[in-house]
Amino acid sequence: MAHPWRPPLPRIVGLALVLAVWPAVAGAEGDVSPAPAASEGPEGGMPPLGSPLAVQPRPAFHVLPAVVSVVPGLLLHGLGPLAAGDTHTAGRLFAMEGTGLGLLAVGGVPILLTGASRRVIGPLYAVSLAGAGLFSLSMLANLYSTVSPAFTPGVAAPRLPPLELDFGYQYVGDPNFDYRHFVALGATARLSLVRLEATARWSPNEGNARVRLGGAYRLLGEPEAARGGADGTALDVEAGVLYHRFPTEGFVLLGGEMALRGRYAMARLSPRLEGSFAEASAGLALQGYSFFGPLSEDALHEQLLFTFGYGVYLGRSGPLRGEALLYYDHRKDEYAGGLKAGAGVTGYLGLRGRVLLSERWGVSADVQAGSAYVARVSAVYTLGGEP
């Protein structure tokens, strides 16, 4: 007799460990209330929120720190700002890198010693991903800290449109499937602390279709539709349902998921990082495959959801506002699939951006690289207020 499916407790415990990492990244300034502009604070760090600030000039750009941030800075994060004389930023980036390497060891060594036992792989894999995230974010912050003095940093838009629609084209280069060309549709509604989202991808020739409906509730931070002077730091709880139909292959993927997603303005870590942000999410998905028949218990499986990325805000004033994010996504059920690394399969890398070019119109784009290559470009139309 088949046994009823039960959520794997070890993986849930592992997820809790991952979520505990986010406050550590936030540091002492973990309060997500609006923060003053980093360029107005002293080089030694952010003062208490709400305290008066003396305007300080931005540091000058120098070539040597930028070079050092690459070689050997890609291995020793913090050398870039250290070469620029900023010991405060260097110390924090070294601490981030050390924490990331420690988490990688805590998660990775037991995985090797146990032969990736299914009894422990869930929480250990989650801890390892958290370590990889911190290591990657400190590396990118090291690079950004040395080049940011060369330009005026962007700021988080004071408010995002209540309703946003996008429509465009997506290309999928996957040697395992025949589909290539897709119609890409999306909609986002922002209602105070609630955000509702819908996306659809449809291939007219093969009939392959992927639809996701989801939403988010803001637990901490200002609402996207009314940030005011906030820096974008926030924490959301997200949920969604997924339907993906493969008519040629003869099966359908159905799933539900829940996650926590946090964004942290890196200026709170150091004024040199003004205009950039880190983003991370962790959650679980329960999915089932149906080969055009009744759903069997054997077709059910769970998937660890984990993403992290480093982004920059684009624009300071006027209609030109947006952001760009370089990210890693651990899920494998997207069109990009997963990167094959050794004996296992990881997620995929991506770069996405969105810019509003006028009061109503903008453009968004996304490129992803996993076992397949995905590229999308869309026009954005906003309703219900100025961006």
Q: What single string gives the DSSP state of each residue in 256-317?
A: EEEEEEEEEEGGGT-GGGTTEEEEEEEEEEEEEEESSSPPPGGGEEEEEEEEEEEEEEE-SS
pTM, entire model? 0.83
Helix (H) or strand (E) holding 201: strand 194-202
Q: Which SS3 state, helix, strand or coil, does residue 340 take?
A: strand
Determine how many CB atoms are found less than 10 A away from the CB of residue 41. 22
Task: Return the pLDDT at 35.
Answer: 42
Task: Return the pLDDT at 16.
Answer: 41
Whether the CB-CB separation of 223 and 248 falls below 8 Å is answered with no
197-to-187, 189, 251, 367 alpha-carbon distances in Å:
6, 7, 25, 20
Task: Return the pLDDT at 177.
Answer: 85
Q: Which residues of the chain have pLDDT under 50?
A: 1-55, 343, 387
Domain ranges of the chain: 9-48+61-150
- Enumerate the β-bridge partners of residue 210: 201, 244
Task: Return the pLDDT at 293.
Answer: 58
Residue 361 tokens read as: 């119109």
Q: What single string gives the DSSP state of each residue in 91-105?
A: HHHHHHHHHHHHHHH
